[in-house]
A and B are shown apart, each in its own frame.
Chain A
Amino acid sequence: MAELSDAIVAIINGADNDVEYTFNGAEILTWESETVTQPTSEELQTKLEELNG
Chain B
Amino acid sequence: MSTVQVDTINESTTGSGVTIDGLTIKDQSGTMVNPMLKYWTTGQLTGNDGSAGTNALETTSQTLADVPNWSISVTPSSTNSKIWVTLQVPIWSTDCPGDISLQSNHSGSYARIAEHRELGKDTGSSGVSGHLSTIISPNTTSTFTIKLQGASSASNGSNRFRINWYGWGELMAFELGA
Contact = CB atoms under 8 A, between A and B. Distances in A.
Contacts of B59: 21-23
Contact of A21 (B52, B53, B157): B157
Contact of B157 (A16, A24, A29): A16
Contacts of A25: 48, 52-54, 56, 58, 165
Interface SS of chain B: loop
A20 B53 contact: no
B156 A24 contact: no
A40 interface: no
A40 to B, nearest CB: 16
Main secondary structure of the interface of A (DSSP, over half): mixed
B102 to A, nearest CB: 18
A20 B61 contact: yes
Interface string B43-61: 0000010001111111111
Closest 8 CB pairs of A and B: A26-B53, A19-B157, A25-B48, A20-B61, A23-B58, A12-B157, A16-B158, A16-B157
Interface of B: 48, 52-61, 63, 65, 68, 94, 155-160, 165
